[in-house]
Amino acid sequence: MSLGYLFGGGVGAEPHGIELYEASPLVRQLYEEISGWTGLTAEQILRGELPEGRERRQSAGTIREAALAMAVHDRLAEAGLRPDVVGGLSLGAMTASCLAGALDRRSLFTMLARTAGAPGPRPSAAGEGMALAFVQAEDARSSPPWQGLPDVHLAGDFGPVADGSRRILMLAGHRTVIERLAAESAPGTIVPLPGRDIAVHSPLRKPFRDFIAPHVARMPFTAPRIPLLSCLERGELKTADEVREMFERNPTDPISLVDIYEGMRSHDVRLGLVMGPAIPEGILAFPFPVVHVENPDHIELAISTAYDLGIPFSRNDSGTGER
């Protein structure tokens, strides 16, 4: 009977974590530490306008998102909950690695801050974009409308929606092609994601991968102390090298939430806590109950639900979150 922590992907364009920050000295201390590692003030991390420039904006957004996820983790740990298994999507996979003990926090946030210096697109390059594709569940394996389009790539699989009628996939590619695809598809089938101007988890992200690879190669990974699930294929990352490889491939390879929650199911997860707002509530079909944790009320709900479902509270420090 296990407790799983799920970390979403994406960037925090909206202000996140303010209530937790204001309510908890522990969280304020965490943000001060992150501030020291990243050069951003706590205010900038929490609610500041994201900076101009594609990569600087992306970097600050990922720091905001990872900071909130870590704050939620620390508050839950303070209240007696620690995960038995963790996994995350994209940025969430990196945060999960950190909280699984495969990487120290300073190294993670230093890396996220460093990505601000990644080269932007060439002026002549086509604009990038992303979209969600809502496909009929039974058609998930048949030819999708974007098949054969060279500039659109399958970037992610979020699995079936709650009522099982559809499946949500993520596309990345050239923005104009994605917008044309959306216009030519049935209404509501292809939904471009507003404000997402980087085609993450696709081959178009190769320059970023090349930029960050030397840094990732020097990062001090260790073997995870608790099960860490990959979002790039179904399975557990057990060694330092496997975690490092996940970091390397993460920018260009498609991600799968299904791989994570099926992995959690195989670990007998009975309650999943979604850390932060990156995975919306009530949209997806998880094979176990989930509680979405974004603010102090949710912390209490998570702990109460864990008690209700018979999840034992933590009695030792064998868990997660080395600083």
Name the residue nearer to another protein (CB basis): 224 or 254: 254
Q: Pick one of 278, 286, 319, 321: the residue that binds another protein (CB under 8 A).
A: 278
Q: Which of residues 230-249 bind another protein (CB under 8 A)?
A: none
- How distant is the alpha carbon of residue 69 from its chain centre? 9
Q: How far is the CB of 275 from another protein (least distance, A)?
A: 12
Residue type, 9: G
Q: Pick one of 2, 38, 59, 90: the residue that binds another protein (CB under 8 A).
A: 90
Q: Pick one of 3, 7, 10, 286: the residue that binds another protein (CB under 8 A).
A: 10
Q: Pick one of 44, 107, 110, 305: the residue that binds another protein (CB under 8 A).
A: 305
Helices 240-249 + 206-218 axis angle, to 10: 160
Q: How far is the CB of 271 from another protein (least distance, A)?
A: 10
The answer to whether residue 87 forms part of the interface with another protein (CB under 8 A) is no
Q: Pick one of 129, 224, 227, 277: the residue that binds another protein (CB under 8 A).
A: 277
The answer to whether residue 138 forms part of the interface with another protein (CB under 8 A) is no
Q: Pick one of 177, 193, 223, 240: the residue that binds another protein (CB under 8 A).
A: 193
Name the residue nearer to another protein (CB basis): 124 or 316: 316
* Tally of CB atoms within 10 A around 113: 18
Q: Pick one of 29, 241, 289, 318: the residue that binds another protein (CB under 8 A).
A: 289
What's the 3-state SS for the chain? CEEEEEECCCCCCCCCCHHHHHHCHHHHHHHHHHHHHHCCCHHHHHCCCCCCCHHHHHHHHHHHHHHHHHHHHHHHHHCCCCCCEEEECCHHHHHHHHHCCCCCHHHHHHHHHHHHHCCCCCCCCCCEEEEEEEEEHHHCCCCCCCCCCCCEEEEEEEEEECCCCEEEEEEEEEHHHHHHHHHHCCCCCEEECCCCCCCCCCHHHHHHHHHHHHHHHHCCCCCCCCCEECCCCCCECCCHHHHHHHHHHCCCCCEEHHHHHHHHHHCCEEEEEEECCCCCCCCECCCCCEEEECCHHHHHHHHHHHHHCCCCCCCCCCCCCCC
Q: Which of residues 109-128 bind another protein (CB under 8 A)?
A: none
Q: Which two tokens stand for residue 171?
A: 């596309």
Q: Pick one of 101, 156, 272, 321: the residue that binds another protein (CB under 8 A).
A: 156
Q: What is the CA radius of gyration of the chain?
A: 19
Q: Which of residues 14-73 bind another protein (CB under 8 A)?
A: none
The answer to whether residue 254 forms part of the interface with another protein (CB under 8 A) is no
Q: How far is the CB of 209 from another protein (least distance, A)?
A: 18
The answer to whether residue 211 forms part of the interface with another protein (CB under 8 A) is no
Q: How far is the CB of 56 from another protein (least distance, A)?
A: 19
Name the residue nearer to another protein (CB basis): 43 or 307: 307
The answer to whether residue 167 forms part of the interface with another protein (CB under 8 A) is no
Enumerate binding residues for another protein (CB under 8 A): 1, 8-10, 78-81, 89-90, 130, 132, 156, 158, 162-163, 168, 170, 191, 193-194, 196, 200, 270, 277-283, 288-289, 291-292, 294, 298, 300-301, 303-305, 307-310, 312-315
